Amino acid sequence: METSISPYKLLFRALTLIPISHYLLIAVFLSIVFVYNLLEIHILQDFFAGFSGNSVSLTFNWSSDLYTEVVSKCHLLHGRYLATPWLSSPHLQTILLNVLVKTPSFTYKRDIFRTSDGGTIALDWLMHSDVSDTRLNETNTVCADIPLLIVVPGLTSDSNSPYIKEIAYKMAKHGWNVVVSNHRGLGGVPLTSECFYTAGKSDDLGEIVNHLHRTHPETPLYAIGTSLGANILVKYLGEDGIKVPLVGAVAISNPWDLLIGDRFFTRGIMQRFYNRVLGSSLKGAAKLHQEAYARLSDWEGIEKSRSIRDFNNYSARIAGNFETIDAFHRWASSARLVTNVSVPLLCVNAIDDPVCTDEAIPYDEIRLNKNIVLATTQHGGHIAFFEGMSGKSLWWIRVVEEYLSNLNASPSMSKQQMQRFKKSSK
């Protein structure tokens, strides 16, 4: 009588007959699938769609004059966005942003601004005449007929960050004067007051805008904020309402709700990676002013921080006298003030932004406000939106230039803003 052989032994014998090279091919294939999904690569989707890109989705109030008079004339916002094929991943776009962006060399002219509490902020100027072929403004002073764009950088970015230099240079080339408002403690300036920059510190921006309006009362003022700078900008617009002396504004990759964003950072592998990296960059910035941070917050806790939440808990929460870190995040979020915005505002967010989740976007509140238009794209990453085969162009910068140029050229919108200024000054 024959003894039965275990089916598992038969299976094992069969597996040993398969060449090792086949196992290696399977391992390579599974690794590719894993990386493809981890990095959220969408090259195959783009291929099957004929590399036609996705339509830009616009959210706005249907009775909005901003849409009718300005945004309806913006061809880019009514077109499609296609990511650079070899950067068909929100993570690749985001991680390589400051590596791939190359801007011609130029030099800012620096002004030092003192805030009401004795703080120091560096204002870095790039005039249209500095980058134009014909020097229209030999004195390098602000001319009333040339609009001025105020740039508010992201988390630990400053005027020398590649993407900030790119927007400054491109707008100056298109006829704008530009000033980058570095956050206090950044841009190479010391902390000179009992206060440091946080995610919700919008009063500094308010002082700067008012200062520029006083010193250049005839110059049209506009502002653009990126990432956390966008949150600060929108928060300022909502807090000051009709008193804001800006003609228009743009928010790129705004995190909107920092409480939702904090939860988002704990979800996936890549989000935890960004959380660590950004938390580390905050610690690095704080070390430049260790004495002040140690005096105003918990320095030992800051040094042990491993995330943005940890850093804010030991710094901004304590300095701002918030009972909990969630209370600070709620206070610092711009989403709660969207309905108060009175300045024509264009917002641009990518649905696949790996740093700022689209779940935080206040769609309903935006629809209620006639002064806001939101443009969302399926792809683009965080402040990236690379386009073209070479990957040398950032789509959002072209959108900003087209939108602001149309807004600046709109007589009806300018008239509305002048009427708002008059009401707010009474």
pLDDT tens string for the chain (426 positions)? 456 778 888 888 788 888 899 889 999 999 999 999 999 999 999 999 999 999 999 999 999 999 999 999 999 999 999 999 999 999 999 999 999 999 999 999 999 999 999 999 999 999 999 998 644 444 445 666 899 999 999 999 999 999 999 999 999 999 999 999 999 999 999 999 999 999 999 999 999 999 999 999 999 999 999 999 999 999 999 999 999 999 999 999 999 999 999 999 999 999 999 999 999 999 999 999 999 999 999 999 999 999 999 999 999 999 999 999 999 999 999 999 999 999 999 999 999 999 999 999 999 999 999 999 999 999 999 999 999 999 999 999 999 999 999 999 988 776 666 666 656 555
274, two tokens: 């960004």
Query: At residue 145, what is the residue type?
Result: D
What is the per-residue pLDDT for 136? 44
What is the per-residue pLDDT for 52? 96
What is the per-residue pLDDT for 137? 44
What is the per-residue pLDDT for 425? 59
What is the per-residue pLDDT for 145? 80
What is the per-residue pLDDT for 135? 47
